[in-house]
Structure 1
Amino acid sequence: MNFRVIGFFLFALMLGNVSCKTKGTARPKESNKEEIVKQPNIVVLLCDDLGYGDLASFGHPIIKTPNLDKLAATGIKLTNFYSTAPVCSPSRAGLLTGRSPNKAGIYDFIPGYKKSEDNRDLVHLQAHEQTIPALLKSVGYATCLVGKWHCSSRFNSDAQPQPDDFGFDHWFATHNNAAPSHKNPANFVRNGKEVGEIEGFSSQIVVDEAITWLDQKKDNKPFFLEVAFHEPHEPIASPEDLVQKYLPKSRNREEAEYFANVENVDLAVGRLIAYFEANNIDNTLVVFSSDNGPETLMRYDRAKHSYGSPGELKGMKLWTNEAGFRVPGIINWIGKETFTGTSDKVVSALDYLPTFAELAGADLPNSAIDGESFTALLENGEFDRSKPLIWVFYDAINQRRAAMRKGDWKIMARLVADNEELPRIHNLYDGNEELVKNAELTDFVLFNLKDDIDESEDLSEKKPVVFAQMKQEFQQEYNDLLQGSHIWVRKE
């Protein structure tokens, strides 16, 4: 063999070794590929109306949440985590699909079926939507939903798709809230069959069902489990021993019941994690968040227990200010070393689908998604999203119903059509489509959320260059979202 060839070969080999050593202390790429092939179990824990400040680890001075705090302390605590909407149904649709819920045509909470002029009775997650459980099922996962569904106006009816139509092998769910309350609920449906009254409290009942499903699972498939708690949404009911624990520290019994309600969720989470440990279930990615921010006390008659905390944030549920959709976020990969610590990276529930798909080796949906994979965050704590987050909630309580976050900046605007404020709208349909599409963004405000978490100082005049850039991008993102929004048309 030519000595030049031999020399070149040895030189190349030496370079290869040096290269490997340089990358080595983090995680070699080959090792990553092998780990990704071993598909992780994935668990989504989702609260209902839990405020940004409702966990001890997120600053609550009274409520005890040791199990969730431990998940945060040994995993990743996300201080800039966002739900996909400031109210339940669209938030859940966005989580499942990785797309803005407006594109799915779910603009507000979905009431029970009742024919209405604005076609709200038609609203449901449509069969063509590709979801997390369906994608994971396509690559060998067993899938289960326990808890709240709230993605169809006709629950448990052949008239609209149900959880099993979106990839859930097993489902044990309610349309909306546990009824008559969290105690002894009577409105659960298991795989299409009504269950009747169940003794106990909802958070513990859904974890019981999850554990039973896991116990009865005979195969070695990885699993996707969504545990959609009803708590702490009204109508609240809590174990009396926990209520008594909080009474001395509360202003009244209703507040004590709220505090106890949150702790009961924490206890349920603790039971599930203990089950994983007792059964040696590792390689399990657990993500925890809330569907939106906390309910406003006495906003409606039954909201007498709504003592949720927005923490330092402005607004509450149904607002496009931060407290409407910025919620506690926790990631913990049981049995695998990842980045650990507190992260201020901007992460959204929209990001679940692309992240889970990447980890499981599933193809992304054919339709464009709005989320981005945060696997780099798991690896090394880095995640800088390329696309801004945008929310357009036509039924918002606050004045500026459209908002966008990009980096540290947030811009908001009113919606005005024919020189008048756009009326509050539950649904987009052929009767208001023209009005909504003629509305323009106006009266912009700009905030730096890194320096001004409570959105107290409008910087639109002080930061004209940033403002101009954000305004231009906001208008483009809004127009693109509006053009892609589903319009409900009655065909019968």
Structure 2
Amino acid sequence: MNFKLFTVVMFAVFCLSCKETPKAKDVAVIEEKLEQPNIVVLLCDDLGYEDLSAFGHPVIETKNLDKLANTGIKLTDFYSTAPVCSSSRAGLLTGRSPNRAGIYDFIPSYKKSEDNRDLVHLQADEVTIPAVLKSVGYETCLVGKWHCSSQFNSTAQPQPNDFGFDYWFATHNNASPSHENPKNFVRNGEKVGKIQGYSSQIVVDEAITWLDKKSSNAPFFLEVAFHEPHEPIASPEDLVQKYLPLARNREEAEFFANVENVDLAVGRLLDYFKTHNITNTIIVFSSDNGPETLNRYPKAKHSYGSPGPLQGMKLWTNEAGFRVPGIVNWIGKKTFTGSTQAVVSALDLLPTFAELAGAELPDRILDGESFTSLLETGHFERKKSLTWAFYDAINARRVAMRKGDWKIMGRLELDNKELPHIHNLYDGNIEAVKQAKLTDFVLFNLKSDIAESNNVASTYPEVFEAMKTEFESEYNALLTGSHIWIRENQDVE
């Protein structure tokens, strides 16, 4: 127990003694309630709903993640905060829809553009998970992918350390030139240069080094943001050879090997916790969005990720775009174990972690809510619907909402035409977006129709009308609260 918690416990015991001498078991209960858990977030990049064997993949071996799922909580209805990387990461860190932060799409490298996309970054006033946890004594670390600013490792925009990370070892976007021997990592503002090895193993090496050098016994928050299995994929040859007989071609074998390499890296981290007797540690594993579509762009030749029974892929607002594997496992703590269909989102991580750590929530609108009851009892029914507005979605209905078993989706039309695809909301297009109307609605019951194959709007007219009314209200509220990017100097290079 750290000093801060020890002081609180002793004060509680002293206060109780003013009335009566506490029994030993009473003191133990007080101490247990106040003990803060270590918190670890493991986040893959473009991992599909069915890319782990625990979630149904028939070929890929993921024994370490399977064990986490089988001895912890397997979340079958877990959602990322967006169907694209930068937006998803911003939502996870803040517990808020990424639209509120103004991150509507992936963030490219800095280059001035007419739609002000070059300005996009996670803004300094956003309050993040590491910042919340630091306020109650946590040490914090990020290793892996950042992708929350257009100007990475620059004083022009906030960097990971500005959001509560004591230590960071990260890349702007992908590991470059590939997962093998990357040369674009930055450690606390200093370029590292070429590193031998594979990215998933490299970031776990860095996490273990940070844990070894941690300056105190304070609880820690560790985010391990893997680059895998995002392109450009590179995998250890021994793993590739293992999968060649089971794959359609070498590229698919390299993808399978890529996912297993992540699993092996996770296994190394879990072994470290075990050998160093690190208990009371809650681990959350997931993906930033669904799987990439094979050959969607020239370098996507290894993109064999599987959406399983879900419709769509990455960049869709159908389920496969943001319904992803979810695992929660609390090492050293007895919790509910098993598979659950509770609707949980990465938006929920900040309020959940804050409650577990005894931290105050940020004084701002949060779209997530704490799911601690799921850990305790296996039951969680969210009060807030989940709403997504991805203006550059590949599918036609770019706005969606899930509430309970139901999901409603709609098109955006302006002057009886589909709203043009948009990467960013700025002063040049915001009025058009505000004038666009939701239309052409469809309704699905995801409990009975996970594939979104049967529009039941006419079958359940009362449910449809209620969902439609709430959907329009929630979308309008989200649009009203969305950040609009305005350039002070209107000259564009």
Q: TM-score range by the shorter chain?
A: over 0.9
Q: How do 1:284-363 residues align onto structure 2 when only pairs under 5 Å count? A: 284-363=281-360
How far the C-alpha of 1:34 sits from its partner, in A, is 4.0
Alpha-carbon separation, structure 2, partners of 1:29 and 1:112 = 56
What's the CA shift string for 1:232-276, capped at 9, x where partnerless?
000000000000000000000000000000000000000000000
Matched, 1:151 2:148: yes
Q: How do 1:83-102 residues align onto structure 2 when only pairs under 5 Å count? A: 83-102=80-99
Alpha-carbon separation, structure 1, partners of 2:419 and 2:140 = 41
How far the C-alpha of 1:291 sits from its partner, in A, is 0.1
SS of structure 2 residue aligned to 1:304: coil
Partner of 2:39: 42
How far the C-alpha of 1:35 sits from its partner, in A, is 2.9
Alpha-carbon separation, structure 2, partners of 1:175 and 1:358 = 31
Alpha-carbon separation, structure 2, partners of 1:88 and 1:333 = 26
Q: Is the contact made by 1:36 and 1:361 (CA closer than 8 Å) also made in structure 2?
A: no
How far the C-alpha of 1:29 sits from its partner, in A, is 11
Alpha-carbon separation, structure 2, partners of 1:376 and 1:135 = 21
Q: How do 1:256-271 residues align onto structure 2 when only pairs under 5 Å count? A: 256-271=253-268
Partner of 1:103: 100
Matched, 1:430 2:411: no
Residue type matched to 1:148 in 2? K
Matched, 1:381 2:378: yes
What's the CA shift string for 1:291-339, capped at 9, x where partnerless?
0000000000000000000011000000000000000000000000000
Alpha-carbon separation, structure 2, partners of 1:415 and 1:31 = 57
Residue type matched to 1:227 in 2? V
Partner of 2:273: 276
Alpha-carbon separation, structure 2, partners of 1:243 and 1:228 = 23
Q: 2:471 aligns with which of 460, 467, 474?
A: 474
Matched, 1:66 2:63: yes
SS of structure 1 residue aligned to 2:306: coil
Residue type matched to 2:313 in 1? M
Matched, 1:77 2:74: yes
Partner of 2:16: none
Matched, 1:445 2:445: no
Alpha-carbon separation, structure 2, partners of 1:126 and 1:420 = 34
What's the CA shift string for 1:187-232, capped at 9, x where partnerless?
0000000000000000000000000000001301000000000000
Alpha-carbon separation, structure 1, partners of 2:210 and 2:220 = 11
SS of structure 1 residue aligned to 2:301: helix
SS of structure 1 residue aligned to 2:487: coil
Alpha-carbon separation, structure 2, partners of 1:58 and 1:428 = 36
Residue type matched to 2:59 in 1? I
Partner of 2:20: none
Partner of 2:136: 139
Residue type matched to 2:487 in 1? R
Partner of 2:452: 455
Partner of 2:123: 126
Residue type matched to 2:389 in 1? V
How far the C-alpha of 1:31 sits from its partner, in A, is 7.5
Partner of 1:4: none
SS of structure 2 residue aligned to 1:147: strand
Residue type matched to 2:349 in 1? Y
Q: Is the contact made by 1:55 and 1:65 (CA closer than 8 Å) also made in structure 2?
A: yes
Q: 2:413 aligns with which of 409, 412, 416?
A: 416
How far the C-alpha of 1:383 sits from its partner, in A, is 0.3
SS of structure 2 residue aligned to 1:303: coil
Q: Is the contact made by 1:36 and 1:360 (CA closer than 8 Å) also made in structure 2?
A: no
Residue type matched to 2:262 in 1? V
Q: Is the contact made by 1:258 and 1:305 (CA closer than 8 Å) also made in structure 2?
A: yes
SS of structure 2 residue aligned to 1:305: coil
Give ranges in structure 2 of 5+ residues lacking alignment.
1-24
How far the C-alpha of 1:368 sits from its partner, in A, is 1.3
TM-score (norm 2): 0.93
Q: Is the contact made by 1:350 and 1:371 (CA closer than 8 Å) also made in structure 2?
A: yes
What's the CA shift string for 1:455-485, capped at 9, x where partnerless?
0000000100000000000000000000000
Alpha-carbon separation, structure 2, partners of 1:33 and 1:248 = 56
How far the C-alpha of 1:419 sits from its partner, in A, is 1.1
Q: Is the contact made by 1:36 and 1:359 (CA closer than 8 Å) also made in structure 2?
A: no
What's the CA shift string for 1:435-460, capped at 9, x where partnerless?
00101100000000000000000000
Partner of 1:243: 240
Q: Is the contact made by 1:147 and 1:174 (CA closer than 8 Å) also made in structure 2?
A: yes
Partner of 2:164: 167
Alpha-carbon separation, structure 2, partners of 1:462 and 1:376 = 34
Alpha-carbon separation, structure 2, partners of 1:273 and 1:311 = 27
Residue type matched to 1:439 in 2? A
Partner of 1:177: 174
Alpha-carbon separation, structure 2, partners of 1:120 and 1:236 = 27
Corresponding residue pairs, total? 465
Residue 405 to residue 33, structure 1, CA distance change in 2 (3 Å): farther
Aligned residues: CA RMSD? 1.1
SS of structure 2 residue aligned to 1:333: strand
Residue type matched to 2:217 in 1? N
Alpha-carbon separation, structure 2, partners of 1:176 and 1:31 = 46
Alpha-carbon separation, structure 1, partners of 2:30 and 2:119 = 44
Alpha-carbon separation, structure 1, partners of 2:114 and 2:363 = 33
How far the C-alpha of 1:33 sits from its partner, in A, is 5.8
Residue type matched to 1:280 in 2? N
Alpha-carbon separation, structure 2, partners of 1:101 and 1:284 = 28
Residue 113 to residue 29, structure 1, CA distance change in 2 (3 Å): farther
Alpha-carbon separation, structure 1, partners of 2:26 and 2:224 = 33
Residue type matched to 1:476 in 2? S
Alpha-carbon separation, structure 1, partners of 2:49 and 2:30 = 36
Alpha-carbon separation, structure 1, partners of 2:122 and 2:471 = 27
SS of structure 2 residue aligned to 1:298: coil
SS of structure 2 residue aligned to 1:267: helix
Residue 268 to residue 393, structure 1, CA distance change in 2 (3 Å): same
Alpha-carbon separation, structure 2, partners of 1:95 and 1:81 = 12
Q: Is the contact made by 1:250 and 1:256 (CA closer than 8 Å) also made in structure 2?
A: yes
SS of structure 2 residue aligned to 1:197: coil
Give ranges in structure 1 of 5+ residues lacking alignment.
1-27
Residue 33 to residue 388, structure 1, CA distance change in 2 (3 Å): farther
SS of structure 1 residue aligned to 2:361: coil
